[in-house]
């Protein structure tokens, strides 16, 4: 599989009154063509900021560094105009709250057709046909009446389908989805995930999916990136992460996942919280929550280390014994 999106040593820091918030700090991973990569981690780990950095949507006090390549093109050195074109044509993003991405005073048709007009050279008639085709593609019937509806007249699940239709209107190679099912109820969540999976196959897209839900990861991921406090602490193929997780944090996340049939047992929670990403000490950021914490963990940060020949990597001193002894 060829690499499509190559993220290398990306750092997104926010310069605030209280100091520098290192929301993303040296993140690297690759999404290959046709692959679904999931970024997982608790709230505040830097998942959304990673996605926004890739889309060049960090504003205000944020500064981004590192390398981000899409099909070999370095995105970081593109002009704003070229980046806007890439964002419209080759990469698209959907968010957790579809309502906040849609304009409440415009109809669905106006918003969907406007995106098609902006990204294609189709005639008025062809634009409408494409809008109706997209609505059908995302599994909504009554296309004509949907085009005339306003966002508030539709359910959350329908709106997320519309957002997916808008994202697909430019035939992106890469779809970035930030918690696309979190705001939906469970049955609708499953339908949206099925839709994304089907579209990925049919449209031969690659997908970067951000979620804190390991159930979702198990359903759709080929490859998993586990983030903690702005850093990648483990990454690997989905089967390696689920069958032989290495980092105590990944193990904790997996233990915290509800298992069917074990209703009587109290759900496991990882003690403590993700640290504030301000003025973090030189150490493993998970040290104070980790039951395996050793002396070195509180004085030196571990780096990602490969496990043999496969693509499984972990940043934990438990797996760097030789260095730990020195």
User: 218 in helix, strand or coil?
Assistant: helix
Does the footprint of ligand ATP cover residue 224 (CB under 6 A)? Answer: no
User: Residues 297-326: x/- map of binding to ligand ATP (CB under 6 A)?
Assistant: ------------------------------
Size of the site for ligand ATP (CB under 6 A): 17
Q: Is 7 in the site for ligand ATP (CB under 6 A)?
A: no
From residue 269 to residue 298, the character string flagging contacts with ligand ATP as x (rule: CB under 6 A) and all else as - is --------x---------------------
CA angle centred on 230, ends 163 and 290, rounded to 5°: 120
Q: Binding of ligand ATP at residue 47 (CB under 6 A)?
A: yes
Among 17, 18, 43, 121, binds ligand ATP (CB under 6 A): 43
The yes or no reply on residue 135 touching ligand ATP (CB under 6 A) is: no
Binding residue (CB under 6 A) for ligand ATP from 1, 8, 9, 16: 16
In order, the DSSP letters of 298-309 are: GTS----EE-TT
Asked if 4 and 32 count as a contact pair (C-beta separation under 8 A), the reply is: yes
Closer residue to ligand ATP (CB): 23 or 254:
23
Say which residue the tokens 């997104």 belong to.
12
Q: Is 44 in the site for ligand ATP (CB under 6 A)?
A: yes
Whether the Cβ atoms of residue 112 and residue 134 lie closer than 8 Å to each other: yes
Closest CA to 211 of 181, 239, 241, 191: 181
Query: Smallest distance, Å, CB 207 to ligand ATP?
Result: 17
Distance separating alpha carbons of residues 144 and 126, to the nearest angstrom: 14
Are 277 and 23 a contacting pair, CB within 8 Å?
yes
Binding region for ligand ATP (CB under 6 A): 14, 16, 21, 23, 41, 43-49, 60-62, 212, 277
């Amino acid at each position: 599989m060829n690499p499509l999106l190559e993220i290398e040593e990306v750092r997104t820091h926010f310069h605030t009154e209280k100091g520098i918030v290192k929301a993303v700090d040296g993140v690297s991973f690759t999404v290959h063509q046709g692959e679904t990569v999931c970024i997982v981690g608790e709230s505040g780990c830097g998942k959304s900021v990673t996605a926004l950095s890739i889309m060049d949507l960090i504003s205000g006090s944020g500064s981004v560094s590192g390398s981000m390549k899409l099909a070999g093109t370095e995105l970081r050195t593109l002009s704003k105009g070229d980046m806007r074109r890439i964002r419209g044509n080759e990469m698209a993003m959907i968010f957790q709250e579809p309502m906040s991405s849609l304009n409440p005073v415009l109809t669905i048709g106006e918003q969907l057709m406007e995106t098609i007009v902006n990204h294609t050279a189709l005639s008025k008639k062809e634009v409408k046909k494409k809008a109706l085709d997209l609505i059908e593609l995302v599994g909504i019937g009554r296309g004509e009446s949907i085009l005339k509806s306003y966002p508030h007249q539709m359910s959350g699940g329908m709106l997320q389908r519309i957002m997916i239709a808008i994202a697909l209107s430019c035939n992106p190679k890469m779809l970035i989805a930030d918690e696309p099912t979190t705001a939906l109820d469970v049955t609708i969540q499953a339908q949206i995930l099925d839709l994304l999976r089907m579209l990925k196959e049919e449209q031969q897209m690659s997908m970067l999916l951000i979620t804190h839900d390991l159930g979702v990861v198990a359903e759709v991921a080929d490859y998993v990136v586990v983030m903690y406090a702005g850093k990648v602490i483990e990454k690997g193929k989905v089967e390696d992460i689920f069958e032989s997780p290495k980092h105590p944090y990944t193990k904790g996340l997996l233990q915290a996942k509800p298992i069917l049939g074990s209703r009587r047992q109290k759900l496991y929670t990882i003690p403590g919280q993700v640290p504030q990403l301000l003025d973090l000490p030189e150490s493993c950021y998970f040290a104070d929550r980790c039951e395996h914490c050793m002396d070195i963990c509180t004085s030196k940060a571990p780096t990602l280390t490969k496990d043999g020949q496969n693509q499984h990597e972990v940043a934990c001193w438990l797996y760097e014994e030789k260095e730990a002894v020195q």
